[in-house]
Structure formats: C-alpha cells, structure tokens
Chains A and B, each alone.
Chain A
Amino acid sequence: MNGTTFLGMPAFPRAARDALGDAQLRRNLAEATRTIRDKRAEAVGELPDWEELREAGRVLKEHTLRHLDRYLLQFEERVTAAGGTVHWARDAAEANRIVADLVRRTGRSEVVKVKSMATQETGLNTALEQAGVRAYETDLAELIVQLGQDRPSHILVPAIHRNRAEIREIFRREMGTGAVGDDPADTDALGDDPHELAEAARRHLREKFLRAEVGICGANFLVAETGTVVVAESEGNGRMCVSLPETLICLAGIEKVVPRWQDLEVFLQLLPRSATGERMNPYTSTWTGTADRDGPREFHVVLLDGGRTATLADPIGRQALNCIRCSACLNVCPVYERVGGHAYGSVYPGPIGAILGPQLRGTASAVDRSLPYASTLCGACYEVCPVKINIPEVLVHLRARVVDDSRRRPLPRLEGLAMAVARWALSSPRRLAGAQRMAAAAARLLRRDRPIRRLPGPLAGWTDARDLPVPAPESFRTWWRRTHP
C-alpha cells in the first residue's frame, strides 16, 4: 500500500478495532476535535440567521445540481472566453492522465500544490510520480502527511491524527536530508512549538514556490457566470500557488459549480464558520482565465465526474453532492472522534465519507459495504451540516442498497436469516406473544434471574462488555390481557 491509496482496506469494524487500541491517536483526536467543535459552535452561535443561511445553502446546491448540465456548459464557455481551457474527465485515471499531459507539455518535472480533495481522490500525486513529475504539497498539514509518507485522516486537517511531537519528528527526519535550501543543523534543533514548526515548513517550502513553474489546485467553488475558480485556504500558500507559476491547473469535481458570483456570499459565510470556526476565511483566491503580465499564462480546469453523475441519479443519495467539504460532520461525529479517519478507507472519512465513498466508488469492496453501517445514526452530523445533508437518511438508504445486493448472492447470510425470522415473529401479535413465551420459558429453564453475561457467536459482541437483561417472565401484553379483561 503506498502513501496515499487505500487499496485492500479491511472492513470498517476491523480497521476501527485497531485504531481504538492506539492510545496516542485517541488522545490526539479527542483533543483536536473538541477544540474545533467548540470553536465552530461559538462562531455559528453568533449568527442569528444561521438556520436561514443553511437553508439558502441547501437550496442553492439543490438548484445547481438539478441544472448541472447547463451550469457546467456555461462555466466552460466563460473559462474559454477568459483565455482558459476546460477538460472533461470521466474518472480518476482520465483526470490524472490529462493533468500529467498538461504538466509534461510545460517541460517541467516539479509542481507545487494547493491542498485539494479532488487530487487526493484521484491519487494525482502517485500518477504524477509515475509520469516523472514531483509534486510538492504546500498546505502545512498536507505537507506533514506527505513527508510522513502517511495517509490523510481528515478533510481539512489531514494530519489531525498527529500531535506536535510527532510532527517535529517527521520534520527532523525529512527536512534535514540535505535537499536544496535545507539546513540539517536547523532541523536538529527544532522544537515542537507550533510557530517554530510552521517556520520550518515555511522555509522548506519557500524556495519551492519561487522555483515552481506549474501550480495545481482544486476548487471550493466554480462560478458558472464568470468562469472563476475559487480556492479557500488559511495559510496563504494557496495564494502563492495560484499566482506565482506560469501554468495553473485546477482539478475539481463537477458538483463544485455554483451559478452566480453572488452565491459566494452564502457559501463564504457557511464554510469558514463550519470548518475552522472563523468568521471569515483568511485567504480566498479567485482566479478567472489569464491576464497579460499578471499570474499564470496558461489556465486549465479539469472537471471530474468520478461517479458523480451516477450519484446524481439517486434521488436520496444525491444530496451528498451538496457537500462543501467543511468537515464539521467529522468533528462532531462520535465514531470519527474515536477511530479517526484511516478506518474509513478513503480520502473522505467520517460521516460524509460514509455516504460519499460507497456512492462514488460503488459497494463492491468490503470496506465500502461496511461504511453505511459505520454510524449509530445519532444525527449529530446532520445537525451541523451547513448545507443540510441528511446524512443519517442517506446512510439508511445505502444500507438498504447493501442488503438488496446481498439478497442476490446465493448463500443467505446469518443476519438476513435473523431479520427474516424477526419479521415473521413480528408480523402478527400471536406470533410475537408465542416468541415472548418461548423466550421467557428458555430463561426459566436456564434458571436465569440475573442478567446474561455471555452469549455465543455474533452476539458475543454485545456480552463482551455489557450484560443483557433476560426476557421478562410476563410480557406487557400478557399483563394487559390479565388486568384489562
């Protein structure tokens, strides 16, 4: 398994068990998610019209998705008119090929990158490496992941699973390698103060920015009426990537388009407050085509489908495409907080990952089949989502898809049998009463008057840590019949 792919991931419960045993990870995650959760709650609490804003965001997204074809063509037309080029990619492989070709045409073998989920999704860095191109991540957290040959575990803070001490170790190891501009002596003395770490990263990156001729970015939004690419980030590195190089290539999913410039008013309020708990996004770069003597000479936008059109066809599942990648749902998710992002086996972890992955990639793999079940349906994600994606609703919908697929398999599964028996017993009050009598008799036979402490097979998952009450000697309905003749 290389640094950025998740091939051959085990199903969620297995991966989660390993993660749950990692004390350092548990602590890092609990601290980080709590801090960011509190910040978000405060920033959102300030706005009296937050609910109206969420509704506006949802309506805008829904409208755009309904007319996606129109807005995408409009976007292409405006980009072209502004001197840029739009490329269409059916899937990850095609997107990567297009980007690699564009880089190759510049004759360069290095690119600087703004943090982008779409390029993570397609595994662009690996594809570029195979094409002989070195990609430098310039977002601090993304750089930590790249240098640590690690995988991202959060949408916004891909290195959230690392603490300061671990980051310092990665920097010491990877920056002091004698590469141009690095001074091993400096990194040896490196402390774990956040400012010191940021400064080390800054120095490590500066010279790469100045040397870079090609920049690669994603997009938070693509504005159809102007042909503008909008990149929101916090560090300013993204601003450098989109403005310094000669060539700028943007890779973005087709669902990132918004109709009008004015729509940004809604999203640029929703995004920073949900994502980092800030009132305003620190660096919002908007780029439209090319201009003489200013910024990139060449401007390309690669629009990625990658399972999005198929997702759009599902009336319940399609709301997942509303997502503006704020990660608020990850930060409030009690499951994510405990197991972290890697167990989700995808660059999209947490609640949004659990509904996006199985839709974009399908449910062929074990991990994708298990993701819709990686939730208690507690609804905390839906409550915070700035574009009101009803994640529990989609999860349950995808569970039905997984079950319906399994019905087609020749061998019935234990769970399917149990559900069929339960349905049979529950389909009439007589049968239910019969089942209750049998359960009570079994309890009597085993002379159980205490909670059950051990059960066999799959039920052991319950009794490993929890007692189970025995069925009541007299069910409610029997009592009612007896007392209400």
Chain B
Amino acid sequence: MRTALFVTCFNDTLFPNTGRAMVRLLERLGCTVDFPLGQTCCGQMHFNTGYQRECVPLVRRFTEVFDGYDAVVTPSGSCAAMVREYHGRVAEVAGDSRLAAAVRRTPPVYELSEFLVDVLGVVDVGAYFPHRVTYHPTCHTLRMLKAVRQPLALLRAVRGIDLVELPSATECCGFGGTFALKNADTSVAMCADKVRHVLGTGAEVLCATDNSCLMHIGGALSRLRTGVRTLHLAEILASTEDEPASAPRTAEGATHR
C-alpha cells in the first residue's frame, strides 16, 4: 500500500513535531509513508471563511499531489473533513468538471486515529506515556468524521497513561478558525469553559486530533500559567521509553523542541 502523509500547512509551519511524530509512529508500525513535497494546503481556511474561489487552485494541487496513492493520512480531523466533504463542492461551484473528476479520484483521506484503527487495524501501538491525560474530541473529528471511539481506544492502550474523562467533552472549544478572530469575545468565553473543565480533571496534558484547537485552548492554558500542556495524539502515540514525547509546547519556556 502506498501511503502519503498530508501534514497540512498549519502543522508544517507551526507544529512540525506532530508530523515528525506521525512519521516515527507509522514507521515503527511497519508502514512506510511518503511525503510528497508538492503539497501545501487543503483550502479549509479559505473555504470556511467564504473565499471559495481562492480554494480552486488549492484543491487542484491537492488532487495532483496525491494522485496515485492508495491512502492519505493526516494529523488533522478538520482538514480530513474538508477534503472528504467539501473538495467536491469547490469543484462544483467553480463549474470545473475536470477538477470534479479529479476530486472523485482522490485516494481516501484518513485522520490519524482512523488510519491506525480502521485501516492498519491496530489499537496498541506500543506507546509509553506515564502522564495524566485528558482527551478533547474536536468537533470535526467527532461530528464530520464521526471518529468517536478510535482516538480513545488508542489512548487507552498506551502504557502508563492515566486517562481521565473530560467533562462536557463534546462541547466546542470556541476556536472555529477565523471565528476566533471575528468573534474573539465569544470564542474566549467558550474557551474559558473548556479550560475550566480541563483544569478540573487535574490532567498534565490535554490531547486532541487537531493542533488548531489545541493552539487555541493551549494559548489560554499558557496565558493563565496553568502548567497544563497540549499534545497532539500523534505525539503521545509516538512516545516510548526510549524516545519520550518532548518538552512542553505552550507553557512558559521553550515553544519548540
């Protein structure tokens, strides 16, 4: 099976460690991934903000870059949902039938937890992470991909983990892409409740399948000096005794490892 990693422009630029963890994890599981260098962005930010026209070249590039692979795996539930739900729409609105045909040929795009559990058929990925962790199901992973059980099953199988349930977990954190800027007040009000629930669990680490939501919640956790760090699911799953997940990302101190 020829598998390609779609790291997403956002992770590429801001959270490269998530991509590196993906590669390490998948290779450990005996799955070779390719990173086609022509990739850029799925167009989600433009599409969701109303700039559908600007999406067309991005969607075209996506179909070209991943053409011929058997599967695409990505560390973002919302980008996977964008490709699966809306790339066809972009082509349709643009009235571009060639592009529409290319979109239909796009290989299946999986969010990481779906790929591990549903495609590779693994739940125990041999990870070791001796920390108290709580999991926030991001909205697009939860409601668009409906990947509800996979991330939790993977986390439960991690050795040493103390996985605690997040109260009101399914409630949106208030990120919403440009919503966080356009409706900053409401966004922060929602984030405040999410932060309250996270702190209530006593977790050291908040985990999710989207770094965008984690950047938002983590930004508040960091601003409030809570000492709680955020980690993408890939980084927890890649973590082993020999190679533990590295230093905190958003707390005081280093941002990058």
Contacts and interface: CB of A to CB of B under 8 A. Distances in A.
Interface of A: 12-13, 16-17, 20, 334-335, 338-339, 372-380, 382-383, 396, 399-404, 415-416, 419-420, 422-423, 426-429, 432, 435-436, 439, 448-451, 453, 458-459, 461-462, 464-477, 479-481, 484
Nearest to A17: B185
29 contacts: A12-B183, A13-B186, A334-B172, A335-B183, A338-B189, A376-B174, A377-B139, A379-B142, A379-B144, A396-B47, A401-B50, A403-B51, A404-B50, A415-B49, A428-B40, A429-B37, A429-B38, A449-B256, A450-B255, A451-B255, A461-B180, A464-B184, A466-B191, A467-B219, A469-B249, A469-B250, A472-B13, A476-B19, A477-B12
Interface stretch (B52-60, B101-109, B114-122): B52-60
B70 to A, nearest CB: 19
Contact of A467 (B142, B175, B250): B250
Given A427-B57, A427-B58, A461 B184 contact: yes
Interface string B141-172: 01110000000000000000000000000111
A421 B14 CA distance: 18
Contact of A423 (B11, B57, B175, B215): B57
A383 B139 CA distance: 11
B216 to A, nearest CB: 6
Contacts of B54: 419-420, 422-423
B41 A16 contact: no
Contacts of B181: 458-459, 461-462
Nearest to B7: A476
Nearest to B252: A450
B179 A376 contact: yes
Contact of B143 (A339, A382, A396, A426): A382
A396 B45 contact: no
B172 A376 contact: yes
A243 to B, nearest CB: 43
Contacts of A462: 180-181, 184, 219
A13 B185 contact: yes
B15 interface: yes
A476 B48 contact: no
Contacts of A474: 16
A416 B178 CA distance: 13
Contacts of B23: 480
